[in-house]
Amino acid sequence: MALPSFILLIAFLYVPLYGWIYAFFKYRPGVPLSGSPFVGLEYFRVAFGDKEVLLVLRNTLVLSFLTLLCTPLPAIGAILLSEIPSKRFRNFLQTVTTIPNFISWVLVYSVFFSIFSINDGLLNQLLFKLHLINDPTNFLGDADMAWYFQTAVGLWKSLGFSMIIYIAAIAGIDPSLYEAAKVDGAGRFQMMRHITVPGIAPTFMVLLILGIGSLLSGGSFVGNAFEQYFVFNNQLVTDKLMVLDLYVYRIGLQFNDYSFSIAIGMTKTIVSLILLFSVNWISKKIRGQSII
């Protein structure tokens, strides 16, 4: 039964690694690889000395760092949600916060455009009517707030889905611990601090290690962030939202420079693996636990 899934895994995740060979050739579409000149590590040297690549790397690291700063929020939300006594209200909140994760980024952009656009945006119109502003604010085209705005958008979309993992971890805590704490006179805050938080700490560390391992993915709470920056990118904020994955897409598919784009993508994968194994090794030395 597992064989079809294993075949798909090999076909879509490992067979394409053969394409890394194009990073060592000056490949042009329509020309066989055998007819392409071998350039060795030339594209890797160009990538590390290109100012545009350094700018893209800065954007990627900043957005990823902001995402890592928000890593505790799903855990905090799950703890607070589990403390709500009404099961119906708790299920309602969980559903409302989880639904955005299943909305495509195209629809998310459409919703945010209708709310935050500079001309017909709902928010600007409301602020005008309340006489709180004199000039409209271009939330989607403000380069100064682009990093923070996109972090907030990603958090809004993925918070509920990320909370599910912590809710499952909380459900796995032995109920007798809470009963014993009640007998000893512990309050709800004390039980959260001394039972719930230590109970979900291993889950938090695993997700934190995976988050650091995907540091070069541009900041994502769940999965890859390429789609988010692809739909929200425009000429006004492209200097702040051009992350590595989006840059690889633009260089490879828009400018047809496949070799250079593959070299950058290849470097990103290797560095991500190094980060993952390094943080995993540090966790094993410090905590005695690791994910590998």
Look at residue 121 and tell me if it is in a domain. yes
Look at residue 52 and tell me if it is in a domain. no
130-149 confidence digits (pLDDT tens): 878 787 888 888 899 999 99
149-168 confidence digits (pLDDT tens): 999 999 999 899 889 999 99
With a cut of 90, say whether residue 292 has pLDDT above it: no
> Whole-angstrom Cα distance, residue 129 to residue 64?
37
Name the pLDDT band for 10 (thresholds 50, 70, 90): very high
- DSSP sequence for 150-202: HHHHHHHHHHHHHHHHHHHHHHTS-HHHHHHHHHTT--HHHHIIIIIHHHHHH
With a cut of 90, say whether residue 109 has pLDDT above it: yes
Name the pLDDT band for 107 (thresholds 50, 70, 90): very high
Q: Give residue 38's pLDDT.
A: 92
pTM for the full predicted model: 0.84
> Whole-angstrom Cα distance, residue 268 to residue 244?
8
Look at residue 6 and tell me if it is in a domain. no
Percent of the chain past pLDDT 90, that is, above it, reads: 36
User: Which range marks the domain in which residue 113 is found?
Assistant: 59-287
Helix axes 197-213, 72-82, angle to 10 degrees: 150
The domain total for the chain is 1
Section 108-116 average pLDDT: 91
With a cut of 90, say whether residue 128 has pLDDT above it: no
With a cut of 70, say whether residue 37 has pLDDT above it: yes
Look at residue 26 and tell me if it is in a domain. no
Look at residue 50 and tell me if it is in a domain. no
Q: Give residue 176's pLDDT.
A: 92
Section 87-99 average pLDDT: 91
232: CATH: 1.10.3720.10
Look at residue 282 and tell me if it is in a domain. yes
Look at residue 49 and tell me if it is in a domain. no
CB atoms within 10 A of CB 109: 17
Q: Give residue 224's pLDDT.
A: 61
205-253 confidence digits (pLDDT tens): 888 887 887 777 766 555 567 889 999 998 999 999 999 889 999 998 8
Q: Give residue 223's pLDDT.
A: 52
Give the closest residue to 243 by CA, choosing from 150, 163, 152, 158.
150
> Nearest-5° angle of CA 246, CA 244, CA 35?
85
With a cut of 80, say whether residue 274 has pLDDT above it: yes
Residue reference for tokens 């828009």: 254
Look at residue 234 and tell me if it is in a domain. yes
Q: Give residue 108's pLDDT.
A: 92
Q: Is 223 left (phi over 0), alpha (psi -120 to 50) or beta?
A: left
